[in-house]
Structure 1
């Protein structure tokens, strides 16, 4: 089997596995679970961004200033992207900018947080594909370990992203479709990485910085404010516990796999 075939097989396996698990969640999750599970997703996003993605960007690039600039630019980019989504809806219905209420009665956010996380996850998956390709080109054993590490990291993240899409108002079918599309970005990254790794190597920290920015922006701007609607002490303790569980699960995966590379 050629190196390219192995690279594509490894990336496809991870994307398919996370897609199947998200699909199983789509069939079993009750709507009442979503607000509770969003707290876990917040923790997973914060943990993935601050414990995995951004440190990895610094490690690869060796320049924290470049990563910080990409993070700052990414936050501004996603702020503008969210504004564009809001402006589009302002032409369709009453919105806050016109003195009304932009949130419908059932509480979703017109797909804003779902769009942010889809764009950011596409960046992240693309970079994962590039990293897998580079690892296999350097050494077969390193490629296998790296692919397993990325798969282990992606599965809980993709499930968390799926929960955010549901919370954002997407149907289960559309959320699964977006989950599948973002997974395809890993294959695209692997192909591009195989044929043009030397050209992309300098951009990897920037792409990871953008991915980290999307996770932070969604968690802090779109999801956490919704938790404040339940201010009672019991709900707050439950939210803190689930956020901690989300962060802890990412930290545990990172510890068990030793970052894989």
Structure 2
């Protein structure tokens, strides 16, 4: 529960500070860091853990495939939304474009965030039940991604006419759904331990989808060497963070 709260509420508060101070460069850096953290968490820890827990590789790969297609469909129908675009970010939209868009989607963003945070809670619970180390790493990966995602949502809500206080309070309520998801995941998966590897596979699909369909395309828009080098460095730092955490925990375990 502590990991769920930190990954949700703490990341939300940091996002609020960044949003209200319009530190867009910091948000861009967080996107690059998130890619390294999420992909290394997926391929170095979550999926290997899932495959160690069950002798059903076809079922796990099918779960990853189904997850990727499912997240695609959810995003298509605006249930799941990951957008970091806002006025003044250098995208070629006419003035006021985002405000018109946000006016009709502000509440949908909150609904989508609530659903997304609920599933994050389930995934963190499954990771902790599989292995405490994996739980910590999964919570860290979600924390890293939540900051740029919430910054984007904050700015869209502000453009839609929400006050700063209302935007923060509503986002906070949505983030607390992660706690509900964590409790549901813990008590449900405790009864059906055999489902844990498949939940980990689904979580991995979510991380892959977010990194590949949302975060990396944002980074690809910035093509100059001056912008590319920091991206590469921060992706490497993200991978290194996960590697160091894993190594230190293995050391304590032994």
Q: What is the 5 A alignment of 1:81-160?
A: 81-85=74-78, 104=97, 122-123=118-119, 125-130=121-126, 132=128, 146-147=131-132, 149-150=133-134, 152-160=136-144
Relative distance call for 1:73 and 1:175 in structure 2 (3 A) is same
Contact 2:124 2:139 in 1 (8 A): no
Q: Aligned with 1:187: secondary structure?
A: helix
SS at match of 1:169: helix
Residue number in structure 2 paired with 1:67: 60
How far off is 1:214 after superposition? 0.8
- Deviation of the 1:155 alpha carbon: 4.4
CA distance in 2, matches of 1:117, 1:241: 30
Of the three residues 188, 204, 212, the one matched with 1:212 is 204
Q: 1:71 to 1:131 in 2, by over 3 A?
A: closer
| Deviation readout 1:214-246 (Å, 9 max, x if unpaired) | 110110011111112211001001111111111
Gaps in structure 1 of 5+ consecutive residues: 1-11, 89-99, 136-145
Q: TM-score with structure 2 length normalisation?
A: 0.70
Over 3 Å counting, the alpha-carbon distance change for 1:122 and 1:209 in structure 2 is farther
Are the equivalent residues in 1 in contact too, given 2:46–2:201 (CA < 8 A)?
yes
Alignment coverage as a number of residue pairs: 220
Q: Once the 2 structures are TM-superposed, how far is the Cα of residue 188 of structure 1 from its aligned partner?
A: 1.7
Partner of 1:256: 248
Distance 1:84 1:184, change over 3 A: same
Name the CA distance, whole Å, in 2 between partners of 1:161 and 1:84: 22
Supply the RMSD in Å over aligned alpha carbons: 3.7
Mapped partners of 2:54, 2:113: distance in 1: 24
Residue 66 of structure 1 and its aligned partner are, at CA, apart by 1.7
Report the CA distance between 1:46 and its aligned residue: 0.9
Segments of 5+ residues of structure 2 without an aligned counterpart are: 82-92, 158-166
TM-score by length of 1: 0.68
User: 1:130 offset after TM fit, Å?
Assistant: 4.8
Q: Counterpart in 1 of 2:149?
A: 165
SS of residue paired to 2:61:
helix
